[in-house]
Chain A
């Protein structure tokens, strides 16, 4: 029986590759949007006005404190009742970008605040403007702290993208779910699903570990 199901599974491989493509599309778009929004919010959280910081902090808490599945449901089911009709794909991208942005915001803010204060004071006394300080002094040093968890966050993003299968986005997980209705060998079907995720995530996890080892060796003592 296993051989028969295995052949069946091999025949539906193109379907799995389509799902893989959907996972990559959803995660890729959210990665770009989440990184941009996350960096902007993170810089504002570290350097902005007190009220602005509090607002961003509250937003981060709300996103961190609720499960991603609930966030997806809120965006997909509640926004239509407010007049914003969304298809599953844009809803998924919005939810995932929002989640990623909130985590990257904390990573970036943490990285910026880890840069010693003296650096900033020295820049001010050399007559650099706020923008120049950020661009040439603070961010380049902060990137050393930011990079490893940032790559780790991308791994989480790809894994979290499996949750959007719950609203009917046909990604790898959804393909597995649909296939298992026809081929009742859960271990085999979801073994393949896991393998496909592994192929994307494992290199990224190693990259994150590599960056962590490389970036933490050299530290400027002041």
Chain B
């Protein structure tokens, strides 16, 4: 199989792959920023005193987590036009990815906040710190340290999930593989090159994840 592997064709398609690699990067980067924002808001709602806010966030998180991303993507892709909302494909894709990962980020952040011992928060209240001060000096620094690894893990999942955008005809890495396959009938060259590009992102994020674990995590002394 390898002797038939045509590197010349891959080289010829490299500009396309480069463009698509960048497309994957910025589509998932944009969705990542949005997802973290949505996650913070959903988590704040989930943990709020108001029952209505809390259950609204709960419904959002549970319904996202129990349905596949592809079904959500099609829900927006076919559903928004039937409501009369016409958006470019990539906007639909970013919305779906953002809302999907946002629910997971909400859970990750919640786990991080709830892992902080309630005695610390009580101590903060007793020392007269305001809600904002408690958040920014006690809760968030520790929660960030504890959640950085699952957050990066979710970022890896997000990058991989962005491959589904190719199914609503957004041109990104997976689509590049499909294009090469359909142009030249070379599925091996097409999809293995695509896989290699994803692996680059994966290994970079993984290396960053293990570096950050060494550097950024404040371990509690037992």
Contact = CB atoms under 8 A, between A and B. Distances in A.
Interface stretch (B118-126, B137-145, B156-164, B211-219): B156-164
A123 B81 CA distance: 65
Interface string B124-161: 00000000000000000000000000000000100011
Given A74-B195, A77-B187, A184-B82, A66 B74 contact: no
Nearest to B73: A190
Contact of A180 (B74, B164, B177, B181): B74
Contact of B199 (A66, A162, A180, A198): A66
Given A65-B199, A70-B195, A78-B188, A186 B74 contact: yes
Nearest to A82: B1
Nearest to A181: B78
Size band of the B side of the interface? 35 or more
Contacts of B161: 67
Contact of A202 (B62, B160, B164, B167): B62
Nearest to B181: A77
B103 to A, nearest CB: 12
B71 A73 contact: no
A148 interface: no
B1 A177 contact: no
A185 B194 CA distance: 34
Contacts of B163: 67-70
Contacts of B69: 159, 162
Say whether chain A's binding surface is mostly helix, strand, loop, or mixed: helix
A202 B174 contact: no
Contacts of A36: none
A180 B78 contact: yes
Best-surrounded residue of B70, B80, B181, B199 (most CB of chain A within 10 A): B70
B77 interface: yes
Given A173-B71, A186-B79, A190-B79, A163 B198 contact: no
A78 B4 CA distance: 12
Best-surrounded residue of B63, B71, B82, B174 (most CB of chain A within 10 A): B71
Contacts of A186: 74-75, 77-82
Interface in A38-96: 61-62, 64-71, 73-74, 77-78, 81-82
A68 B160 CA distance: 8
B50 interface: no
Interface of A: 61-62, 64-71, 73-74, 77-78, 81-82, 155, 158-163, 165-166, 172-173, 176-177, 180, 184-187, 189-191, 193-194, 197-198, 201-202, 205
Given A69-B174, A159-B69, A162-B68, 20 more contacts: A65-B156, A65-B203, A66-B198, A67-B174, A71-B195, A73-B178, A78-B192, A159-B67, A161-B68, A163-B164, A173-B68, A176-B71, A186-B74, A186-B80, A186-B81, A189-B78, A193-B67, A197-B68, A201-B67, A205-B66
24 contacts: A61-B203, A64-B156, A65-B198, A67-B162, A67-B163, A70-B194, A70-B195, A70-B198, A73-B178, A73-B187, A162-B69, A163-B70, A163-B164, A165-B70, A176-B71, A176-B74, A186-B77, A186-B81, A190-B71, A190-B78, A191-B79, A193-B67, A194-B63, A194-B67
